[in-house]
Amino acid sequence: MTNKQALGYMLLACKDLKLDKDQADKLWDAMFKNMDEFTEEEAQEKGHVWLNSH
């Protein structure tokens, strides 16, 4: 999956959750930052660790 495709899914999720444009923009920015910072494997692991810790 490309970054653009992943961001498309993220935007659809924003729509489903009825996030406003400001919230979606913040999430978009955070996604781009994390896509540059972590490999796909790191993102999967770190994301699930974070989710399971809350």
As a three-state string, the secondary structure of the chain is: CCHHHHHHHHHHHHHHCCCCHHHHHHHHHHHHHHHHHCCHHHHHHHHHHHHHCC
Q: Where are the domains of the chain?
A: 3-52
Digits of tens for pLDDT over the chain (54 positions)?
999 999 999 999 999 999 999 999 999 999 999 999 999 999 999 999 999 998
Check residue 24 and give its pLDDT: 97
Which residue in the block uniquely carries the two structure tokens 């972590």? 38
